[in-house]
Structure 1
Amino acid sequence: MTQKIFIPLCLFFLVTSLFVGCKENLAKSVQVEVVTDDVKPFFKLSLAQWSLHRAIGNNELDPLDFAEKAKAMGFEGIEYVSGLYTKKLESMGMEALQEALKEKSKAHGVENVLIMIDGEGDLAASDEKERNQAVENHKKWVDAAQFLGCHSIRVNLFGSNNEDEWIANATIGLKRLAEYGQSKGINIIVENHGGFSSNAGLLVQVMKKIDMANCGTLPDFGNFCVKREGGGKWDGKCIDEYDKYKGVEEMMPYAKGVSAKSYDFDADGNETTLDYPRFLKIVKDSGYRGFMGVEFEGSNVSEEKGIELTRDLLLKIGKELSK
């Protein structure tokens, strides 16, 4: 009687042990598949404040609430635009503004990445006095970037219509500001933003001449118009455009950030004016692993919708390239 019971019990425990072991192995197998499937992109996402410039300009969004808005939309970092704080500076002053922005970013758990500087003078001006004044005007923003914990300020290099003159003056002005930035631990980075700054080959020459670790570039996917009808910076049809893909590839070795510009999308969420997969492969192949800044400039959908479409497209392609 005892023997008859003992044998089935042994079999029972043996079978149970095998079954449990199989279940554990199956669970481990499933877990590995989930982890493998949850691929992260090779970059982090930041939101460029310019994407919301219409909402801010129409008083629909307080620029002090930028950090909160970016966090709600799923961004880890934020990129400020100096010109969107003109009114706040007039009413609050720089010190109070900096403290408010730092408090907001901490409260909402976003990283302050950089500040895009506009309207503070031409760092590539042919006139020495004008160029020196531009350097001085930018210094307060270097200090602000340091206070906020940003790694960079983005500057413009407009300057002369003569290539040699532009290279010489851009090198002088940018190097002076980079030296000040170096003393504060802040990068000074140049965006392709019109004029000869959108000629990546010439901009790279300036980078090589300066040859400072904290002086670099901010490649933008869409700003490669070198010359417009009428000679204006922003108005007029583009009559001389530098090759976008070549330009980004040339700028990437000096990049401290990347601006993912977008304009329009199809029903499947693809950008219709720019080859995003091609751009992101160029960025990844360069070894860049920093923040990718979403900068929507379209008008066919709302700013928020455009931001979401750009964000989702970047994540989709970024994950595919990271597999």
Structure 2
Amino acid sequence: MHQNRRSFLRNLGLLAATSVPAADLLAGAVAKKPAFEISLAEWSLHRALFAKKITNLDFPVIAKKDFGISTVEYVNQFFKDKANDTAYLKDLLQRCNDNGVKNHLIMCDGEGELGDKDEAKRTKAVENHYKWVEAAKFLGCKTIRVNAAGQGTADEVKKQAVDGLSRLSEFAGKVGINVIVENHGGYSSNAQWLTSVMKEVNRKNCGTLPDFGNFCIKRKPGDWKVCEEEYDRYKGTQELLPFAKGVSAKTYDFDASGNCVETDYSRIFEIVKKSGFKGYIGIEYEGDKLSEEEGIRKTKQLLERVAFA
């Protein structure tokens, strides 16, 4: 009996000794769970898409099989006439399901200006986006990305954009879809202006998509590659993050060490992390020195090294 008791205590000690490290390991695993997930923006492959080398239907499979990315962000112009095509959307969704790909958002362009000074045109722009809200819902997306463009002074366009975004967000909110605005040129690339728009819209499903490389407010006439007026990207990112429902990791070029030339990713991700943002970081390679495939891979490697450090 005495021996059995000693054996029991010895075994209990061994159990305790092994269970504590296991608990520590479990706690460590939970603590190290990343705040971010990588997604792939379809614009990263825009040259191949425009050249008809690939199609929008190919995109989710390419994201998963070629780059190991399981979440995608579509660009509406690559399936412009398919928003109401149920058979097409079913085919696209089936390809995603077959390959374990999640649909995150649809970037919407060319549907009119949500800040148009003409009320009838602004209403038409709002209504033009309805089909993309519905397509996003069908595909299992959470979000559509729109633009806050218009004509007039900063205050005039702000008032107009607040109206357009409020109405579109009200419609989208009924089916659980977010409406987010990217800093995408003009007034929207002024982060103070865009945050003031968000504050006035004041809807939970309306937010921002900070794009690290899109803070050019004014481009040189005749040469869009030259920026004449630019908002500070680090300040702008910090200001937009409280409203963010996604982040666009824009890259153009890389140095010999694999760092982004135009944006200090270590610095900008310190800002992202301090903001408490959790969600998708979308790869959007837009350079022309590397192939699209190599640019995507280098951006992914950079994110894995910096964002998850």
In the alignment, structure 1 residue 113 sits paired with structure 2 residue 104: yes
Q: Partners of 1:115 and 1:303 in 2: how far apart? A: 20
Distance 1:242 1:57, change over 3 A: same
Give the whole-Å Cα distance in 1 for the aligned partners of 2:226 and 2:261.
Answer: 19
CA RMSD of aligned residues (A): 2.8
Distance 2:160 2:176 in 1: 24
Q: Compare CA radii of gyration and give the structure with the larger one.
A: 1
For each residue in 1:244-303, what CA deviation from the matched residue of structure 2 results, as whole angstroms up to 9, or x when unmatched? 011110000000100000011112211111110111111111111111100000111110
Task: Output the CA distance in 1 between the equivalents of 2:76 and 2:251.
Answer: 21
Q: Name the amino acid aligned to 2:68.
A: G
Q: 3-state DSSP class of the match of 2:121?
A: helix
Secondary structure of 1:267's aligned partner: coil
**Per the alignment, in what secondary structure is the counterpart of residue 205 of structure 1?**
helix
1:85 aligns with one of 69, 72, 79 = 79
Contact preservation (8 Å) 1:39, 1:319: no
Q: Paired residue for 2:59, among 45, 66, 71?
A: 66
- Indicate the structure whose relative CO is greater, using CA pairs within 8 Å and at least 6 residues apart: 1
In the alignment, structure 1 segments of 5+ residues that lack a partner are 1-16
Q: How far 1:40 sits from its partner (Å)?
A: 5.2
Deviation at 1:161, TM superposition (A): 4.3
Work out whether 1:262 is the aligned partner of 2:251.
Answer: yes
Check whether the contact 1:229–1:239 (CA below 8 A) recurs between aligned residues: yes
State the SS of the aligned residue for 2:208: strand
Mapping of residues 215-234 of structure 1, within 5 Å: 215-230=206-221
2:220 & 2:69 partners in 1: Cα distance?
A: 37
Note the residue ranges of structure 2 that are not aligned, 5 or more in a row. Answer: 1-9
The whole-number CA distance in structure 2 between the counterparts of 1:93 and 1:152 is: 17
Closer, same or farther in 2 for the Cα pair 1:264/1:161, shift >3 Å?
farther
Aligned equivalents of 2:48, 2:302: Cα separation in 1: 23
Distance 2:75 2:100 in 1: 19
Percent identical pairs in the alignment equals 49
Matched, 1:45 2:34: no
Deviations 1:116-152 (A, max 9, x none): 0011111011111111100010000000011111110
TM-score (norm 1): 0.85
1:39 Cα deviation after fit:
5.3
Structure 2 residue 237 is matched with structure 1 residue 248: yes
Higher helix share: 1
* SS at structure 2 position matched to 1:60: coil
TM-score by length of 2: 0.89
The 1:319–1:93 alpha-carbon spacing in structure 2 relative to 1, beyond 3 Å, is closer
Letter in 1 for 2:204: A
SS of residue paired to 2:150: coil
Could you tell which deviates more after superposition, 206-215 or 58-67? Answer: 58-67
Residue matched to 1:292: 281
CA contact (8 A) 1:118 1:156 kept: yes
Aligned residues of 1:199 and 1:242 also touching (Cα < 8 A): yes
CA–CA distance in 2 between the matches of 1:79 and 1:289? 17
Q: Distance in 1 between matches of 2:25 and 2:192?
A: 46
Question: Structure 1: which 4+ aligned runs deviate by more than 2 Å?
Answer: 38-42, 234-237
